[in-house]
Structure 1
């Protein structure tokens, strides 16, 4: 089934029949009850679902896993741009549907070998593209593995520091133009110790590059970011 081929009437019916799926994905990301009448998050999720219908092809793998990724990324972008941006944390759980849902097939059982091969190919292309960008900053994946924090609290703290940088146009422009992290400027903005920023300089640059671009949906999905509470 290719959603792009549906007529307008059938498209509307298809979307309506999957509103339960859309709600569940939004709920798992927002971690709170939502209502269709009052919450922008559900409108964002609905738009992302319709976008998935327009952009999906079989090379993108299972339709619903692809759609879940678009909804997740759209909501993250919405939170980032919103003035009252919720803090983000890394999530080790996977988005999954309930067993009794008959509107879509189980993510794991539905992805066959061909779809997995296609997803792996797309992921490899995305990683290759990101590797080329990292070279501009004199970084590579080997260094990143060595410089990545192992403690979850540190990762969450750095994620929110990166989020603060993304909301500051001057800092983001400096990073893109100079290919460097403006330590002093970020320290003043976030009230963070310079030594801490310098220690995680490489990791922060990578987070900022990933979150500021729409070119890396697989890498964003791999990070498993969700809305959470502010860390003191």
Structure 2
């Protein structure tokens, strides 16, 4: 299976590969549209705009821009908001954003919204898992092996989270990690006073944690058994 980076490089040169990439990642594009909650633009129009942005991101993408899907999500969001502002200006109306106060809703309406939100969360989680699976391929990791490579001991899990957080909290380490697809073993040995043997033993699990932390995986992050300090949540 080709990695996302390989597919992007092919899509830059081949129109067929470009269209196939857009088709394969339509769930991601739809998710980005649904998460940018702006009102005043038809859904089909927003989806068309997002598809064009996705296509342009493929053409413009380089590893210096960070993880592809995180980069593209920001581009889609910004483009949709810009489009809303232009439409609002032409229509001489005030843009409506989710944070504005709205009229109190009935109990029935509130219940419907809760049900909708839960369904949306489930669908978003499915899409996140799909994207994570594809991204892991780029790092040489099979999603199906995650359960097998996860540390069984609490102490080992905490160590892995510390390594992942060390990578993600330092811009140079993070850039190197994204660019080379490799764990910066030397820096982790020096900073955390651990052996290269330990790093190699848990390398795939650390890579997975780092990808989740860096990427747009808010749903998956909620399932991580760690708090913000790297300690296991109680």
TM-score (structure 2 length as normaliser): 0.48
- Greater Rg by CA: 2
Which has the larger helix fraction? 2
